[in-house]
Chains A and B, each alone.
Chain A
Amino acid sequence: MTGEEFQKIIVHVSLDADLEGIIKFEVDLGSLPPIYYDGFEVVANFHTSMDNNQTFWTDSNGLEMQKRILNYRPTWDLVNKNYKDSLENITANFFPIQSAISMRDESTGKQFTVMNDRSQAGSALKNGNIEFMQNRRIPADDGRGMGEYFNEVDSLGNGIRVPASYYIQIFNSTTEKPLQRQVQMKVDMPQQMVYSFGKTNMQTTPVQSSMSDAYKKAGITDLVKLVIIPEAKNHFILRLENIADLYDKGAASQTVDLQGLLDAMWKNANI
């Protein structure tokens, strides 16, 4: 085993079939090198030329986008208090990312948004540059009670392989529509596939479902997240959420016809 093959990165690039102008990067990161004395913290890096004025936005648990300014905190003096003893200005500029990092060039309207498919750390340390931490492997304990190195391995002892997907939108925020929340919806609720084998025959007469159209008619748009959790027989929790955010230009209220929605559910359960 040379180990070389394990360090291979397979990158798949495609255009999203549903959301216009969204580019999908599937980055399959092989094993990080074995650790002896050095640790490796590997980031996926996306860059376009623009001036974001050291400012970017990160999501708060998949909800509102929060403004971040490099080496700055709105409620305390980061530079004089925290940087006084050590120059930790890489660490201090990394934020938890559940769904997106975004930046704007105020002079041109250009917006650059990169969305991820899992919780990661991320930052925008340079103009037009967005990075996400994809995997780490460190021969050290950071003294927070773990008492073990950061070394995740597969069944053969090689570093784990970490695939992650990223979705990019580069657009003019003054004339074009942001699709960040639609991407988030697709990432949170992906298609489920199940398989069976063998030739099949029709045993009963098929019934065409009108549920999808009835939901849309009731106001369930691509920005309304709908979750149904069964609580007991004939009881369920229905959770509706408008996932649009004021950071998205043109974000608006969503109106749902609850009676229409429940009628559609009842009809679907009883045909």
Chain B
Amino acid sequence: MLDQSKDVEVFQDTLIEGSWSLLDDLSILQHHDAVSGTAKQAVADDYAWRLFTGMKKNNGGYFRLIDETISKMSGISNQTWTECFRTNSTFVDCPVSAFEDQKDYTMNVAVQNPSTIDMNQAVFAVPNGKYDVKVFNTQSKAFETVNASVSCWNDYAENNVTYKACNMKISHTTKARDFSLFQLTQNDAAELSTNNGTVLEGSEIRDDKFQLVYEGSVKNTSQINFRLKNLQTGHSETFDFSMKYWASFINYYTWVDAQSSGDYIFRPNKGQYEAMDYSTLVGSSMSDTQMDF
């Protein structure tokens, strides 16, 4: 008993020290050079390193707190929790990549919602759609099947090798300031993947109130068109998305107006009053549009 309370005390010290240390790092990252990325590359690398080490220092404590919370909520404890190396990435940066070719493995996913908004969907990276998905029901105190889908696309690595990447989307509400626990079991007979590839003109996604239709692209440009319809009022709005670019003003001759565009200064070429379409620069490689159903 004494040992346990000593352990808790040491743990509390670690947490407080760790969070202050991370706050120090975060305050440095609020410097204008860090926010807008105008520092020398070596300085930018140092900002990234500070954030990395700051998080690393806290991960042990964070995972232990997660384990205690999940244990309280589900009775399942002493899990070795890990996280993805990067967020907004694909499964190759996530712990599941080590299991990609394995069969019948089980992956537990704990979700924390730190916000004050109930979140109705959990989205995370997986290698494919071959899973049985369950959620821990805190009322029945058991895992139950939950509605999930997987959408995939062709992604590519730094070395230009293409691979299939997928996102798992689970329809389950993680309430504000609360947690959820999912259990994914690999199953070759399961297939949750609903789409795989580039979206076609006329495709739509919808929920109870809105319908979003993809109205195709404009030839020889990067522009893609959409229509959003409010299903209750019948009102429609059209909008489009495109990638464009400004050509930088670069001073090659020091005897004229010398100010180049660069790290701090954004200055388009003289006489350029409109951004140009990005596809005119990179050819037809734009774009691979996915709509997530």
Contact = CB atoms under 8 A, between A and B. Distances in A.
Interface residues of A, number: 119
B117 A200 contact: no
Interface string B156-194: 101110100000000100111111000100000000000
Between B89, B94, B267, the greatest number of chain A beta carbons within 10 A of the residue's beta carbon is seen for: B267
B111 interface: yes
Interface of B: 12, 15-16, 19, 23, 35-41, 44, 63, 66, 71-84, 87-89, 94-96, 99, 105-124, 138-139, 141, 153, 155-156, 158-160, 162, 171, 174-179, 183, 199, 205-207, 209-210, 212, 214, 222, 224, 226, 228, 230, 235, 237-248, 250-251, 257-268, 270, 272-275, 278, 281-283, 285-292
A263 interface: no
B210 A150 contact: no
A246 interface: no
Between B80, B171, B209, B250, the greatest number of chain A beta carbons within 10 A of the residue's beta carbon is seen for: B250
A20 B209 contact: yes
Contact of A5 (B160, B245, B259): B160
Contact of B286 (A9, A23, A88, A139): A9
Contacts of A25: 241
B263 A150 contact: yes
B287 A142 contact: no
Given A38-B250, A186-B117, A200-B108, A141 B71 contact: no
Contact of B176 (A9, A48, A212): A212
B275 A45 contact: yes
Given A139-B250, A224-B116, A8 B285 contact: yes
A69 interface: no
B75 A206 contact: yes
A206 B141 contact: yes
A13 B41 contact: no
B264 to A, nearest CB: 4
Given A131-B275, A215-B116, A10 B263 contact: no
8 closest Cβ pairs, A-B complex = A142-B262, A39-B248, A17-B121, A202-B75, A189-B115, A212-B175, A196-B79, A14-B292
Interface string A232-252: 110000000000000000000
A71 to B, nearest CB: 12
A42 to B, nearest CB: 5
A195 B141 contact: no
Contact of B116 (A26, A91, A198, A225): A225
Contacts of B210: 15, 20-21
B156 to A, nearest CB: 5
Contacts of A45: 241-244, 275
B122 A193 contact: yes
A152 interface: yes
A208 interface: yes
Given A133-B266, A141-B260, A197 B158 contact: no
A237 to B, nearest CB: 10
A80 interface: no
B122 A191 contact: yes
Nearest to A22: B210
Nearest to A196: B79
A133 B38 CA distance: 14
Nearest to B161: A5
A11 B288 contact: yes
Nearest to B260: A140
B260 A195 contact: no
A94 to B, nearest CB: 6
Between B38, B74, B176, B240, the greatest number of chain A beta carbons within 10 A of the residue's beta carbon is seen for: B176
Nearest to A211: B177
Given A8-B285, A41-B248, A41-B268, A230 B121 contact: no
Between B94, B228, B248, the greatest number of chain A beta carbons within 10 A of the residue's beta carbon is seen for: B248
Contact of B106 (A18, A144, A189, A198): A198
B206 to A, nearest CB: 7
A152 B44 contact: yes
Contacts of A133: 266
Contacts of A225: 116
